[in-house]
Structure 1
Amino acid sequence: MATEERLDSTQVADPRPAFSLTTGRTRGYHRAAVDTFLAAARTAFEGGGDLTAADVRVASFPLVKNGYVISEVDAALGRVEDALAGRAREQSVREKGAGAWVEEARAEAQVILDHLARPKRHRFARTGVLTFGYRVDEVDHVASRIVRYLRDGEPLTAEQLRGAAFRMQRGGYREEQVDALLDATIDVILAVR
């Protein structure tokens, strides 16, 4: 006679993890935190939550042994962000019309261009000489690519900006300002896809 097993709240119905797991000393994203966040994202995409593309972009998870492989989760989060941004664009176009949506994206692009019109090495506030910030030359290189994308239509993807990483230097650019501009540029890229 077969017995029926019940799952309590600590057991998982599907024992397979959603992503590959790290091994050895490599740390990965906390599995439960990622799973919970992605469940909330799925609910939001299906119309039952208020999670936005911007929320996905700034999501962070604790690093643990035997966690999810970071690159796999980040790639999935990029797809989720794209999907939520597409959903927001469709809703806004339905409510306001395509012309208003394009005008909002154009206005945001102009704000970014105005900011990046500052001379190289002076595009963002700097940290003090004893404090680390993003390397100025590396940020300026990415900023120049953003300008060429917005002004000249040169190719640039949200994935490339999401993957932008800068080494640190004393007296470098303030991280929060650079990150905010990258986020605004990603919003523009996603708006015009």
Structure 2
Amino acid sequence: MTTMFRTTGRLSMGYDPGQVDEFFVHARRVYEGEVTDAIDGRTVRRAAFDLVRHGYQPTAVDAALDRLEHAFVSRERTAFVATHGQQAWLEHLAERARTLYGRLARPDGERFAPAPRRSPGYDPDEVDEVCRRLVDYFDNGHALSSAEIRQVTFTRRKGHDGYAEGPVDAFLERAVEVLLGVE
């Protein structure tokens, strides 16, 4: 039997091969125009799979998802530019980037709400560092890629010692969208 990705060891956890195969086969069919379901870069970015023993190696699947997301975003950009023009695409991206500035302008330690009491959160210093890198990218043209933002991990903090995870994740997802739009 042929598999799309390498699997983990028999006792190790990996992504459910059936779910992964189904997603990639369907995404390929959509990309090639065989079916007209709405799959875009955001759909690919939000794909999630159950963990099972002897599943697909997550790093390999995640890397393939990143490439697939780039392909869908590139196609979306091409279609948008063909219909509305390059200047409209740049204005569209600028508008999305402006939605990030409210939080980026806040002081360190105050960019996001604290995590609820006894709930896990992200280390504020580490999140603020990523935000400062985004400011350097937008304001000073320093290099930053969507892959760098996508691969960031934060140390866990409990309750008010950390930023609430949901708003941070949503913010970083928007940042990835903007960065992908110019890559």
**TM-score (norm. length: structure 2):** 0.93
Match of 1:183 among 145, 161, 173: 173
Q: Look up the SS of the partner of 1:121 in the other structure.
A: coil
CA shift, 1:111, in A, is 1.8
Structure 2: gaps spanning 5 or more residues:
none
CA shift, 1:176, in A, is 1.1
CA shift, 1:167, in A, is 1.6
Q: Look up the SS of the partner of 2:47 in the other structure.
A: coil
Matched, 1:78 2:93: no
Structure 1: gaps spanning 5 or more residues:
1-14
Larger helix share, 1 or 2: 2
Correspondences of 1:131-146 after superposition (within 5 Å): 131-146=119-134
| Superposed CA offset, 1:119-141 (max 9, x none) | 00000111134222111111111
Contact 1:40–1:51 (CA under 8 A) maintained in structure 2: no
Matched, 1:38 2:24: yes
Of all paired residues, the percent bearing the same amino acid is: 37
**TM-score (norm. length: structure 1):** 0.89
Contact 2:116–2:164 (CA under 8 A) maintained in structure 1: no
Aligned to 2:53: 65
| Superposed CA offset, 1:52-85 (max 9, x none) | 1001111110000110000000000000000000
Contact 1:93–1:100 (CA under 8 A) maintained in structure 2: yes
| Superposed CA offset, 1:66-125 (max 9, x none) | 100000000000000000000000111111111111001011112212321000000011
CA shift, 1:44, in A, is 2.1
Amino acid at match of 2:172: L
Match of 1:102 among 90, 112, 132: 90
Matched, 1:173 2:163: yes
Aligned to 2:103: 115
Q: CA RMSD in A?
A: 1.1
Amino acid at match of 1:81: E
Deviating above 3 A after TM superposition, structure 1's stretches of 4 or more consecutive aligned residues are none
Contact 1:161–1:182 (CA under 8 A) maintained in structure 2: yes
Contact 1:124–1:174 (CA under 8 A) maintained in structure 2: yes
Aligned mates of 1:25, 1:155 — CA distance in 2: 40
